[in-house]
């Protein structure tokens, strides 16, 4: 099958390639370890450490827009499917926004009304008030 020279050539080739592959694998391992250490350092810097950090985290969380409610309805008597909606999105203090989309046969209109302290300078529709109330209490009707 193979001559003596062919086997010797193949053996020499394998003998040269194995150390190169091992060196490449070692370099890849070192790079991976360095990147992992860098990511761990970043995560440790982001972790809250003391009670002061916990209070800051609570204050940030209170300002997060995390209370959401959606009320779907038919804006016009001749339209079905409850394609119109009002969505309230507020934080713990009642600050946020109410978004409403009124769907008609030929068009849709979208409105945004700012909310401060649970109220608005702009008059809210009954559906918008219902969405805001549900967002603040956590109860959908």
pLDDT tens over the chain, length 141 residues: 556 777 787 788 777 787 788 888 888 888 888 888 888 888 877 765 566 677 888 888 888 888 999 999 998 877 778 889 999 999 999 999 999 999 988 888 999 999 999 999 999 999 999 999 999 998 765
Q: What range does the domain containing 10 cover?
A: 4-47
**76 lies in the same domain as 130:** yes
Give the pLDDT confidence score for residue 18 in this predicted structure.
78
52 within a domain of the structure (yes/no): no
57 within a domain of the structure (yes/no): no
Give the pLDDT confidence score for residue 68 in this predicted structure.
94
Is the Cβ–Cβ distance between 97 and 108 less than 8 Å? no
**81 lies in the same domain as 37:** no
Task: Specify the pTM.
Answer: 0.60
Which residues, at least 6 apart from 134, have a Cβ–Cβ distance to it below 8 Å?
69, 71, 88, 140, 141
Residue among 136, 134, 84 nearest 111 (CA): 84
Q: Give how many domains the chain has, as a whole number.
A: 2
Give the pLDDT confidence score for residue 55 in this predicted structure.
81
Q: Hey, what are 74's tokens? A: 């038919």
**42 lies in the same domain as 78:** no
Give the pLDDT confidence score for residue 36 in this predicted structure.
87
Is the Cβ–Cβ distance between 48 and 57 less than 8 Å? yes
- What is the rounded distance in angstroms from the CA atom of residue 68 to the CA atom of residue 86? 11
**23 lies in the same domain as 78:** no
Give the pLDDT confidence score for residue 94 in this predicted structure.
93
């Amino acid at each position: 099958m193979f001559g003596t020279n062919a086997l010797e050539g193949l053996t020499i080739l394998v003998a040269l390639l194995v150390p190169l592959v091992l060196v490449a694998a070692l370099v890849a391992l070192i790079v991976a370890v360095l990147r992992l250490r860098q990511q761990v350092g970043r995560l440790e810097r982001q972790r809250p450490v003391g009670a002061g950090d916990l209070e800051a985290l609570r204050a940030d969380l209170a300002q997060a827009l995390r209370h959401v409610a959606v009320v779907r309805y038919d804006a016009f008597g001749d339209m079905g499917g409850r394609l119109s909606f009002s969505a309230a999105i507020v934080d713990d203090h009642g600050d946020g926004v109410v978004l409403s989309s009124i769907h008609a046969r030929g068009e849709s209109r979208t409105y945004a009304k700012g909310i401060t302290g649970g109220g608005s300078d702009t008059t809210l529709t009954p559906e918008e008030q219902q969405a805001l109330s549900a967002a603040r209490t956590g109860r959908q009707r």
